[in-house]
Amino acid sequence: MTANIRVTVWNEFQHEKTNATVRAIYPEGMHTAIANALRGFGDMDVRTATLDEPEHGLTDEILKTTDVLIWWGHKAHDLVRDEVVARVKKHALAGMGLIVLHSGHASKIFKALMGTGCSLKWRESNDREILWVTSPGHPILQGIDDHVIIPVEEMYGEHFDVPEPDETILISSFSGGEVFRSALTYRRGAGRIFYFRPGHESYPTYHHKEVQRIIANGVRWAAPVSNSAAQTYGNRGPLP
């Protein structure tokens, strides 16, 4: 029997404290809603961490015992301390999986790993989002049909200023006619990165069963393999 995947769900946890609409949807925060959903799958040990905790809840000890880190941030990107970003980046390159959700596209950690501006178009006006499968059979889409409908969401539109992904596995269309590459995979160093678009704070997206399933599949896909940090670098002698 394989060990459970150790997941840490990080949320800046700011909107929920200041906005009654958001708090009504996520009374204990988006991180708690996501963590509870993941626990329901039975193969993950899930913790949470938030901005206001010491070191944002992301000490070296926590990251060392995290297989996959999930990141939700929006209004407080600038308050995330650079030394914590550097620490997360170090662990991600060494093999820790990273799942960046929604407005996390503009987080310091995602921009550091992408190396581009990571900007996009957006509109908050109750668009319907349809996510269409572009990579049938991909492990992150296990249990998903050929599309997923989210009745109301914020629109994100192209161009999304990221490097060409290793895989584009879902493309979204919106009521206003825009399209967006909404589920992307990257490898950086020994680590795997999954960007997944849905999850604006004022809509109940993280209660959506198929969204929860895609995040859970993403955790399994991004989890490190046992030897992922075994590389050595620098001068060395020949093999005997």
- Kindly state whether residue 154 participates in binding Zn ion, applying the rule CB under 5 A: yes
**Assigned token pair, 85:** 């970003």
Number of residues interacting with Zn ion: please give it, by CB under 5 A: 3
Per the CB < 8 A criterion, the answer to whether 219 and 98 are in contact is: no
CB of 175 to Zn ion, least distance (A): 16
- Stretch of 8-16, 90-98, 130-138, 192-200 lying at the interface with Zn ion (CB under 5 A): 192-200
Report the Cα–Cα distance between both ends of the chain, in Å, rounded.
38
Q: At what angle do helices 30-39 and 209-222 cross, to 10 degrees?
A: 70
- Kindly state whether residue 66 participates in binding Zn ion, applying the rule CB under 5 A: no
Smallest Cα–Cα separation from 143: which of 79, 85, 220? 220
Q: For strand 44-50 and strand 5-11, is the pairing parallel, antiparallel, or unpaired?
A: parallel
CA atoms within 13 A on the CB side of 2: 10
CB of 113 to Zn ion, least distance (A): 20
Rounded to whole angstroms, the Cα distance separating 137 from 179 reads 22
CB of 230 to Zn ion, least distance (A): 39
- Kindly state whether residue 200 participates in binding Zn ion, applying the rule CB under 5 A: yes
Looking at residue 211, its amino acid is V
CB of 122 to Zn ion, least distance (A): 7
In the bound state with Zn ion, the residue whose beta carbon lies nearer, of 32 and 103, is 103
CB of 207 to Zn ion, least distance (A): 16
CB of 63 to Zn ion, least distance (A): 26
The 3-state DSSP class for residue 111 equals helix
In the bound state with Zn ion, the residue whose beta carbon lies nearer, of 12 and 154, is 154
Give, as ranges, the residues between 211 and 240 that touch Zn ion (CB under 5 A).
Answer: none
Give, as ranges, the residues between 97 and 116 that touch Zn ion (CB under 5 A).
Answer: 103
- Kindly state whether residue 129 participates in binding Zn ion, applying the rule CB under 5 A: no
- Stretch of 18-26, 79-87, 153-161, 168-176 lying at the interface with Zn ion (CB under 5 A): 153-161
In the bound state with Zn ion, the residue whose beta carbon lies nearer, of 105 and 192, is 105
In the bound state with Zn ion, the residue whose beta carbon lies nearer, of 89 and 200, is 200
How many CB atoms within 10 Å of residue 20? 7
Helix extents (H) in 8-147: 15-18, 20-25, 30-39, 60-64, 82-93, 108-114
How many CB atoms within 10 Å of residue 191? 23
Contact residues for Zn ion (CB under 5 A)?
103, 154, 200
